[in-house]
Chains A and B, each alone.
Chain A
């Protein structure tokens, strides 16, 4: 019994095959399942009715698949021969059988069928592949994963990018992000992801957890977060079964700041607001990152004017480490679409008008049409609205982190 690569629901399996290929027209048929020349089926199909085995047909590359147009009923499979792997006629035959003549059963490539043609064959509508003798079927089956998306329409049921760019772009972003995360994990086994528990960061957590990557996830509990936000820590642990480390500010520093400036100093001046951010967020972050070679964030370019040129990969020169923003080119719609598709738990505040969520006293809901960051430090200028996590900290602040 020869071996066959089969493709079902885009999953490849290697299976045995019991069909006997009958090459010669008019040759006596063996018992069992056979693949006979298509012309023979046309000429004497009815006469085969009494056989016990199933019947498939094969077409040569010069044959016109139109001969099977009204004769497909009752066939177990249609095979197309590739006398040489460089002979591309069979791709058109496959496309015609699938799309012109409506063949939905097994479409098998036979002849010189090699691994590096499988991807194109599958797109041309083939779903069974009788590899040339001596080929490693398991290795070959990986070829179907060569490309995740395609530009043009073919016969594999995919929606092509040319027909729905938005969907293809969304898929491409997911695949590229997965690849980037795998690359980061391989190059930086000590990489850590600073999650704010926002929708972006839950999506990134989902991507990391699904791939089982050894990227440590931590969050910064500033002591002033919404209850809803804190609730996401438990949600994420329950959903993904991964540890989410919680970093907290140094209590004495917080107390000293409140004693000196009051509990709501952040409304008074940019300096005092930044001082608060430093104690509650930046310093704990520095502590979490100390000694590591890379960190990740969920920042996106279109979140804020301050992030318009955000790269996917940069060097955090002050901390002396690599910094990755894997969602840099994702839109808010991309984030929501991913969350819906993969059932990612989201902070309920998002649905209540909070696209960007920080500490409770410094975040408000936005009105329709407002900038997504309008609810952060809303009393400040748009170009100042960063907490300092993504700025290069001064030498002094680095020392205090150490």
Chain B
């Protein structure tokens, strides 16, 4: 993974000093609430329902075991013993004392981490495929490009006060595991006919109140121009994005208002002044960064490999775990393993300090000391030799991190919701728990792949628009109600879900999910997943089953 040199260290250390002084001035009354707000937001501090929340950046989801141990220590020493991994591959803590925030940031700096630009109207943490560098279907490792974007966007002086937040994602694999279709700016990496890395750029995707899939505005962008082109996009957005209405300030509204073609032409005109300039990426700097992501010293495949057939027969849960939580790796002798943070009970994505320490130990023992955070709110050990899989499974079971449910109905994405977030209309975590309690392991297996995504409000942190089944919390006269969507997906065939009808009460949500699953099971053809069936038969049968009393009346 990327390691800091003196430049990165100094920038992060000076940021801690700067924020320490800003916090001191705020607490001393020298800075007003309004003046301090964007400063704390751009250092990851977001005031929630109960206390300030601190969101720590995990750049493109990459973590070392030492970093994870520090995240555990922060949970233990500065919070209430847990943290919440988010849908943007970050971690957030819910119970932070503002006066201690500079100390936490200083602690993070010692392990080359920060909370820079994790909130606020600026360029946020860059995200990508949690299997970057190891995925069997990868064309190009996106991580060097993500790191270049991280550095270029960090304290970019021109784009620190944008109309709204701005999220950038990269994909370099056949399957899009980074939900790039719903990002403000997304780069699809591939090789051109000459073998050079080029990028297809899309802009104006996003979820929230006006969900949009980002149209492609540029094809075949040479990789060295990635930053000059990004500068052109951001300058257009910074100058022309709406600032009069918070709800219409994302770049997607600008792109839609003037049309993707016109937006692309405006960006192209601006880019004409920038391309080939000083922000063009140099071969040397790319090589320096790419060297950090060179493949580790893998064992020869025949040494790493093991035949697990007998163990699978003997241990049914190991077998389920292999099928659900273990995926193919570039190297045939290796696998990538998901440590599920979706146990029934705790909020999806939550991990206690002990669990984080345990995961760090597992990474040291089985995966070269590195982990990933997925936008599905799970942890991934990316480099496990197949011969170690059984030992890893046993150790993960002991740590409570081996729930064999990746991609299944209980692998729910959910935002913190009304339990924590001041914006939320409704709770999300108890809905997730209620759905999880409804489906037994056997039933989950029978249903197969099904992505349920829950947001407590229209800001869509829980990605409900792109859930196979989406659940959205709404406020009706001060009460919690939920809208249900079907047919969304965040992969390469990204699509937005359709709202089925009127919103329903909290206690009716699990039954609703049950009925929708029933429609799928009744219609599915062999090998068909929920989302395939939903696309084939359309939303009407789901609507009919969703509101049976209505169907009777009709």
**A residues at B contact (CB < 8 Å):** 85-89, 91-93, 95, 100, 114, 116-117, 119-124, 146-154, 160-163, 165, 168-169, 172-173, 175-176, 179, 329
Residues of chain B with a CB closer than 8 A to A120's CB: 155, 157-158, 160
Q: A161 contacts B151, CB within 8 Å? A: yes
Q: A146 contacts B14, CB within 8 Å? A: yes
Q: B161 contacts A176, CB within 8 Å? A: no
Give bound CA distance, A63 to B156, whole Å.
22
Task: Determine if B44 is an interface residue (Cβ-Cβ < 8 Å).
Answer: no
Residues of chain B with a CB closer than 8 A to A147's CB: 11, 14-15, 18, 155
Give bound CA distance, A168 to B160, whole Å.
22
* CB nearest neighbor in B for A91: B158
Seed contacts A85-B35, A123-B157; 9 additional CB < 8 Å A-B pairs: A89-B239, A92-B239, A149-B7, A151-B156, A152-B153, A162-B152, A163-B282, A165-B288, A173-B6
With contacts A86-B121, A88-B238, A120-B160 taken as known, whether A149 is within 8 angstroms of B288 at the C-beta atoms is no
Q: A124 contacts B279, CB within 8 Å? A: no
Task: Determine if B444 is an interface residue (Cβ-Cβ < 8 Å).
Answer: no
With contacts A119-B157, A162-B152 taken as known, whether A169 is within 8 angstroms of B279 at the C-beta atoms is no
Give bound CA distance, A131 to B163, whole Å.
23
Q: B238 contacts A153, CB within 8 Å? A: no
Q: A92 contacts B121, CB within 8 Å? A: no
Report B339-385 residues with CB < 8 Å from chain A CB: none
* CB nearest neighbor in B for A126: B157
Q: A146 contacts B158, CB within 8 Å? A: no
6 tightest Cβ-Cβ pairs between the two chains A and B: A88-B161, A123-B157, A172-B6, A120-B157, A172-B10, A151-B151
The interface bits of chain B over 1-29 (1 if a CB of A lies within 8 angstroms of the residue's CB, else 0) are: 00001110111011101100010000000
Q: How many Å from the CB of B362 to the closest CB on chain A?
A: 26
Give bound CA distance, A120 to B156, whole Å.
8
* CB nearest neighbor in B for A161: B7
Q: How many Å from the CB of B514 to the closest CB on chain A?
A: 47
With contacts A88-B159, A100-B273, A152-B279 taken as known, whether A176 is within 8 angstroms of B238 at the C-beta atoms is no
Interface range on chain B (Cβ under 8 Å from partner): 35 or more
Task: Determine if B284 is an interface residue (Cβ-Cβ < 8 Å).
Answer: yes
The interface bits of chain B over 27-71 (1 if a CB of A lies within 8 angstroms of the residue's CB, else 0) are: 000010001001100000000000000000000000000000000
Q: B160 contacts A88, CB within 8 Å? A: yes
Residues of chain B with a CB closer than 8 A to A121's CB: 157
Residues of chain B with a CB closer than 8 A to A160's CB: 278
With contacts A92-B235, A149-B7 taken as known, whether A86 is within 8 angstroms of B38 at the C-beta atoms is yes
Residues of chain B with a CB closer than 8 A to A114's CB: 35
Q: B22 contacts A116, CB within 8 Å? A: yes
Q: B7 contacts A168, CB within 8 Å? A: yes
Task: Determine if B281 is an interface residue (Cβ-Cβ < 8 Å).
Answer: yes
Q: A175 contacts B10, CB within 8 Å? A: yes
Residues of chain B with a CB closer than 8 A to A169's CB: 5-7
Give bound CA distance, A80 to B163, whole Å.
18
Identify the interface centre among B154, B160, B227: most chain A CB within 10 Å of its CB: B160
* CB nearest neighbor in A for B237: A92
Report B157-177 residues with CB < 8 Å from chain A CB: 157-163
Q: A148 contacts B148, CB within 8 Å? A: no
Give bound CA distance, A395 to B163, whole Å.
66
Give bound CA distance, A123 to B35, whole Å.
20
Give bound CA distance, A162 to B227, whole Å.
10
Q: How many Å from the CB of B332 to the closest CB on chain A?
A: 35
With contacts A88-B238, A162-B281, A165-B284 taken as known, whether A124 is within 8 angstroms of B7 at the C-beta atoms is no
Taking a contact as CB atoms closer than 8 A, the residue among B13, B22, B152, B239 that contacts A152 in the complex is B152
Residues of chain A with a CB closer than 8 A to B35's CB: 85, 114, 116
Q: A152 contacts B238, CB within 8 Å? A: no
Give bound CA distance, A146 to B121, whole Å.
21
**B residues at A contact (CB < 8 Å):** 5-7, 9-11, 13-15, 17-18, 22, 31, 35, 38-39, 121, 148, 151-163, 227, 235, 238-239, 243, 273, 277-279, 281-282, 284-285, 288
With contacts A89-B238, A92-B238, A149-B11 taken as known, whether A162 is within 8 angstroms of B279 at the C-beta atoms is yes
Q: How many Å from the CB of B349 to the closest CB on chain A?
A: 30
Taking a contact as CB atoms closer than 8 A, the residue among A85, A89, A165, A176 that contacts B13 in the complex is A176
Give bound CA distance, A74 to B21, whole Å.
41
Residues of chain B with a CB closer than 8 A to A119's CB: 157
Q: How many Å from the CB of B45 to the closest CB on chain A?
A: 15
Residues of chain A with a CB closer than 8 A to B227's CB: 152, 162
Give bound CA distance, A120 to B7, whole Å.
18
Residues of chain B with a CB closer than 8 A to A153's CB: 277-279
Q: How many Å from the CB of A274 to the closest CB on chain B?
A: 35
Give bound CA distance, A153 to B230, whole Å.
13
Give bound CA distance, A122 to B235, whole Å.
17
Q: B157 contacts A329, CB within 8 Å? A: no
Give bound CA distance, A122 to B157, whole Å.
9
Q: B278 contacts A95, CB within 8 Å? A: no
Residues of chain B with a CB closer than 8 A to A86's CB: 38, 121, 161
Residues of chain A with a CB closer than 8 A to B155's CB: 120, 147, 150-152
Q: How many Å from the CB of A373 to the closest CB on chain B?
A: 23
Residues of chain B with a CB closer than 8 A to A163's CB: 278-279, 282, 285
Give bound CA distance, A260 to B325, whole Å.
72
Q: B158 contacts A92, CB within 8 Å? A: yes
Q: B238 contacts A172, CB within 8 Å? A: no
Residues of chain B with a CB closer than 8 A to A165's CB: 5, 7, 284-285, 288
Q: How many Å from the CB of A288 to the closest CB on chain B?
A: 30
Taking a contact as CB atoms closer than 8 A, the residue among B14, B153, B281 that contacts A148 in the complex is B14
Give bound CA distance, A61 to B102, whole Å.
34
Give bound CA distance, A371 to B24, whole Å.
50
Identify the interface centre among A88, A89, A147: most chain B CB within 10 Å of its CB: A88
Q: How many Å from the CB of B184 to the closest CB on chain A?
A: 15
Residues of chain B with a CB closer than 8 A to A162's CB: 148, 151-152, 227, 279, 281-282, 285
Residues of chain B with a CB closer than 8 A to A122's CB: 157
A-B contact pairs, 22 of them (CB 8 A): A86-B38, A86-B121, A88-B160, A89-B238, A89-B239, A91-B159, A91-B161, A92-B235, A116-B39, A122-B157, A123-B157, A147-B14, A151-B152, A151-B155, A152-B156, A154-B157, A160-B278, A161-B7, A162-B227, A163-B279, A169-B5, A172-B11
* CB nearest neighbor in B for A167: B7
Q: A154 contacts B158, CB within 8 Å? A: yes
Give bound CA distance, A123 to B148, whole Å.
20
Q: A88 contacts B162, CB within 8 Å? A: yes
With contacts A91-B158, A119-B157, A163-B282 taken as known, whether A329 is within 8 angstroms of B6 at the C-beta atoms is yes
Residues of chain B with a CB closer than 8 A to A116's CB: 22, 31, 35, 39
Q: A176 contacts B9, CB within 8 Å? A: yes
Q: How many Å from the CB of B59 to the closest CB on chain A?
A: 13
Give bound CA distance, A116 to B32, whole Å.
12
Residues of chain A with a CB closer than 8 A to B282's CB: 162-163
Give bound CA distance, A288 to B160, whole Å.
52
Give bound CA distance, A147 to B11, whole Å.
7
Q: A151 contacts B154, CB within 8 Å? A: yes
Q: B10 contacts A176, CB within 8 Å? A: yes
Q: How many Å from the CB of A152 to the closest CB on chain B?
A: 5
Residues of chain A with a CB closer than 8 A to B31's CB: 116
Give bound CA distance, A150 to B121, whole Å.
20
* CB nearest neighbor in B for A123: B157
Residues of chain B with a CB closer than 8 A to A168's CB: 7
Give bound CA distance, A121 to B157, whole Å.
7
* CB nearest neighbor in B for A170: B6
Give bound CA distance, A114 to B22, whole Å.
12
Q: How many Å from the CB of A143 to the closest CB on chain B?
A: 9
Residues of chain B with a CB closer than 8 A to A329's CB: 6
* CB nearest neighbor in A for B153: A152
Give bound CA distance, A42 to B6, whole Å.
48
Give bound CA distance, A349 to B460, whole Å.
67
* CB nearest neighbor in A for B239: A92
Q: How many Å from the CB of B186 to the closest CB on chain A?
A: 20
* CB nearest neighbor in B for A166: B284
With contacts A114-B35, A152-B279, A161-B151 taken as known, whether A172 is within 8 angstroms of B158 at the C-beta atoms is no
Residues of chain B with a CB closer than 8 A to A148's CB: 10, 14
